[in-house]
Amino acid sequence: MNGAPGAVDAVVNLLIGLGLPGVIIIALGFAVYRLYNRNQELLDTMVETGRETVKAQEAATASINRLSDLLLRGKAPE
């Protein structure tokens, strides 16, 4: 092994020392950690999507208001 054989050996020895139950617990912990991070990314995406939706709704409302003013008064508001 070229990189860091001492570090690799240490990790292998740790995994051997933990046994199968320990390795499973570490794997499950890592999976939970990855899911948590993915969940945070999705929440951030939802927040950004919500902000964009609000902006689009505000623009649509402003357009509808301008159109109703035009139809009711016969001219566009200044």
> Is residue 63 one of the residues assigned to a domain?
yes
Residue 67 lies in a domain: yes
Q: Residues 21-36: pLDDT tens digits? A: 888 998 999 999 999 9
Does 1 score more than 50 pLDDT? no
Structural domains in the chain (count): 1
Residue 42 has pLDDT above 80, yes or no: yes
Domain that holds residue 39: 20-78
Within-domain flag for 7: no
Tokens describing residue 53:
């939706």
Cα angle value 64/59/70 (rounded, 5°) = 30
Q: What are phi and psi of 4, to 5 degrees?
A: -140, 80
**Residue 57 CB neighbours (<10 A):** 10
pLDDT at 60 over 90: yes
